[in-house]
Structure 1
Amino acid sequence: MNAPVTDYDVLRVFCGPRGGYGNELGVVRDGSLLPDRDDRQALAAKLGFSETVFVDDPERGVIDIYTPTLRLPFAGHPCVGTAWLLDVPELVTPAGPVGTRLDGEFTWIEARPEWAPPRTLRQYATPSEVDDLEIPPPGEWIYAWSWEDEPAGRIRARAFPGRDDGIDEDEATGAAALLLTAELGRALNITQGSGSQILTAPQPGGWVEVGGRVVLEGQER
């Protein structure tokens, strides 16, 4: 199926301190142009981002998230990026309402770990071991991590989705950071991929905040 042509914004989410790195995200601001799920999935596959967001109601923050091969009820970096773009107090996802806030250079979302898709959180002894990992074959979704400075909560991580859709390594993944924060029960400062930065903090009632910097790359068609 050929998806109709439409405009979309390209963001980088979870950028480093100087605005570099980050995970690219496509956002179709007018989701009404592509109401059919098959058309949305086709466009997400064509664009090839790890996720593409379709905004169904910009005032209420209603969004729909797709990878190149499937629809997601929730995902971290799409929610952070779209929260920054729309500047709304919450996003409405199929998983549930995601609280949002802007705090200086960081955009934060608040979500529940059980909304995140399953990931294998695999700890390594040193950051260099994480750096030296080769791309694993398709299979399980692996979040490889190691302490850089445990007392300070600093972590080195890489993410391997294990999908056969061209996304061998995910540069920055908020959902995996959410799960790791819930497992460790503490605030984290994560350097993932080539140099992306993700901040997290546990909240009362089992919620977790995930934050990062967002940069607008431009609008494409």
Structure 2
Amino acid sequence: MTASESPAARTPRRAVAAAARTRQPTEVRRRLIAEAAVPLIAERGYASVGVRDVAAAAGVSVGTVTYHFGSVQEVLSEAMVLHIERYYAALSEAAERASGSAEALRLLVDALFTEDTDRHWRMWFDYWNAGDQDPDQGFARGQAQRYEAWHGQIRSLAGRGVDDGEFICDDPDGFAARFAALADGLALQRLRQAPPLTTEDARRHLKRFIETELRLADVLPDRPSDVHGG
């Protein structure tokens, strides 16, 4: 620390005003603490956030954090659940508003790959890596449930498109598994840039996959997305 830096300057800004922290039900306090942990994970990485960091960001004592959570791992897991649920809720809402399944898939692809969503993908892979390191089976089960929900959304869109006559697909389950795997792989390549990959090319690869798998042609044109700033 230099002479011009004070301990206060290094203390994370409190995310919750004092008046908002008093007399709150347990579930509200837990959520506030988890909410405060989300930006910490984004900035530092899952493994670099400690209970003192979370307490400082939430504007509470370390004792308050440990009273509401059994471990910092539990805090971070709940924070990631909040982030993931928000992210995919926005995708689901866009898909519901789409004129058809092909349009819904286009919106999903455009939203999955933007400059803004690089942050989400970093957090997502960090979260999965943390699960591999944690012996807690409940943590692993929670991850699996959230991933299954994502697969379910893709399966539902494919099945709806078949029912509506937009697609020809004999294996919606297989399509969902391959779509998710390709999206994850492209996202990892996008973050590592080895080899270099632009958001536009990531979208193009995934749309080409959809066209091939669902026997589509020219139904997923590149257009600006209204989800997640894409």
Scaled to the shorter chain, the TM-score interval is under 0.3
- The structure with more strand, counted as a fraction of residues: 1
Computing the radius of gyration from Cα coordinates, the structure with the larger value is 2
Q: Which structure is higher in RCO with an 8 Å CA cutoff and minimum separation 6?
A: 1
Q: TM-score, normalised by structure 1?
A: 0.25
Q: TM-score, normalised by structure 2?
A: 0.24
- The structure with more helix, counted as a fraction of residues: 2
